[in-house]
Each structure stands twice: as structure tokens, then as C-alpha cells.
Amino acid sequence: MDIPGAARIKVAALQMEPSFGDKEWNIAESCRLIDIAAAEGAVLMVLPELCNTGYVFESKVEALSLAERVPGGPTTDAWIGKARQHQAYICAGITELAGTLLFNSVAVVGPEGYIGTYRKMHLWDRERLWFEPGNLGFPVFELPFGTIGCRICYDVWFPESTRILALQGADIICDSTNWVDSPPIQSKTKPIAAVSASQMSLMNSVFSICADRVGSDRSGTELGTVFIGNSCIIDPQGDYVAGPASADSLEVLIAAIDLAKSREKDRTPHNNTFGDRRVDWYGNLLGYGSAR
């Protein structure tokens, strides 16, 4: 890395197609995509939600059989190896086993090894049958080039998620996601989740790296689920700097970004995205202050 402290870096969203239940293959495929992104100079890479196992479980027993500890499992070990090899940072979705509990998580690793975990706070649909709601809050992670926070899929529907990360100084939101072809989160004309991510970047002056998957799980069954791709990298003005990717193909999206843009909160000479908040009136409702 030609950092430290540099504001200009290359980042990547790795759009992949996990094979449900085949962890060995999924780990190898994620590492192959990491190699491609590293060859393009990316120092921060984001992989999709639950990319080491696939998404659509039939039972908690099945989910438990595929889960692993973070760190210490084969998936995080492989990602740490790649992070060290390429002197890069990786945020990737994983089925986490913590004691006897299951979490839909993102592992954050780098050249120094394991950095931290984010556990999905807002569980979507059948996820709540297997996973516990996240219990680590909204941590941010200080990396050599800036501060990152993580989001997982349905979290984007809750503006508090992104705002809390931004208030803690996040420059980049790393969004491991599995956007699906299902109302109400997909329309006939545009991926609503990607639009939501764009708005969250604009409202909070942060970059978003949204790594989705393609393909399907449990095809031909009543649980069959199709994923819509459209991975993207978004700047603090809400504009796409890479993507959206296709709806059905593997893609490695690369963008050169200037983190100084996420640190400019002023929208006009008289406005500041965070300074203009009226917490004196609505802080009590949001749980972090007393309104008049």
C-alpha cells in the first residue's frame, strides 16, 4: 500500500455467485475475486452477504452446520491470508457461530489479521428464524487511510444505521448485501435498495461500497430466491462512481475515490450536514438527547 494516511485509494465491490452449502468452493471463489481486485490496485474490498455459505437456509440445523467462528474459522483464515498477501483490507459476509448463537455477520480483516466483526442489526424475513439480531451495535474501524463502517442489506432501510456510522466518523460504508428480486425491495425499473444506498450516501456525506450477489439459491423449490446483482460504488454526492453492475454476471467493480470528499460536510457556505441537526427537538425521540 502506498499509504498511510492517503486520502486517495482504490476500492472494490466484488459481485459473486456463491454455491449454496459449498464453503470450500465459495472460499476459493472469493479469494479469486480478491486477487483480481488486488491486481487492479484495490486496497479495500467488499464481498456479499453470507458469501461463504449461500443465503437460503432450510433450517437452523442446516445453518449451524455451515457456520464458523470469527475469527478462527477456515473462511476468515483464508481472507486474512489474502489480506496479508495483497496488503489490503477485506469486509465480507459470513455465517458466524458465537458460542451456540448464529449471526449474519461481516468479518473485517487486514494485513495485521482480524480487525473486527459487524453483526446484522435488522434481520430480513426468514433470517430471524436462524439468526440472532446483532448485539455489537454499529462499530467503526480505523484503517490506515480512513474510517469504515459496515452495513448488511436490510440495514439500509433504517436511516439510523448509516447516520450513526457517519456520526462516528465513517468515511466509507461497506455494504455486504443480498438484494433479492422480490417486492417491496425491487421494482420493475430500478433496484430500490441501490437507490436507498445512494440516498444514504448523499444524506450522510459518505462513500458506499455495495457488493451484491447474483444467481439463485434453492432454485425450483418454494424457497427459491433470485438475487439481482447491481453492485455499485457511490460517492458522498449520491452519484455512482462504479456500476451499477449487471443483474446476472460476476463483476469486479473498481473505483478510485478521494476520501476528502466524505469529510466535507458543508452543502452551502451556511449549511453543515451534521451541524444543522435539530437534536434539541427530536433528540429525545431518537434516544440521544432531551427535546424541549
- The catalytic site residues sit at 49, 120, 153
* Phi, psi (rounded to 5 degrees) for 71: -85, -175
- Which residue type sits at 226? V
Q: Tell me whether residue 288 is exposed, middle or buried, using C-beta atoms within 10 angstroms of its C-beta: 0 to 12, 13 to 18, 19 or more.
A: exposed
Q: Tell me whether residue 31 is exposed, middle or buried, using C-beta atoms within 10 angstroms of its C-beta: 0 to 12, 13 to 18, 19 or more.
A: middle
154, 196 in Cβ contact below 8 A?
Answer: no
Strands (E), 47-168: 89-98, 101-110, 113-119, 140-143, 146-152
| Residue keyed to cell 440472532 | 132
User: Alpha carbon 26 to chain centroid distance?
Assistant: 17
Angle at the Cα of 35 from the Cα atoms of 95 and 175, rounded to 5 degrees: 45
State the pairing for strand pair 146-152/172-176.
Answer: parallel
How far is it, in rounded angstroms, from Cα 183 to Cα 179? 11
How far is it, in rounded angstroms, from Cα 263 to Cα 170? 9
Angle at the Cα of 19 from the Cα atoms of 254 and 79, rounded to 5 degrees: 50
| Residue keyed to cell 449474519 | 104
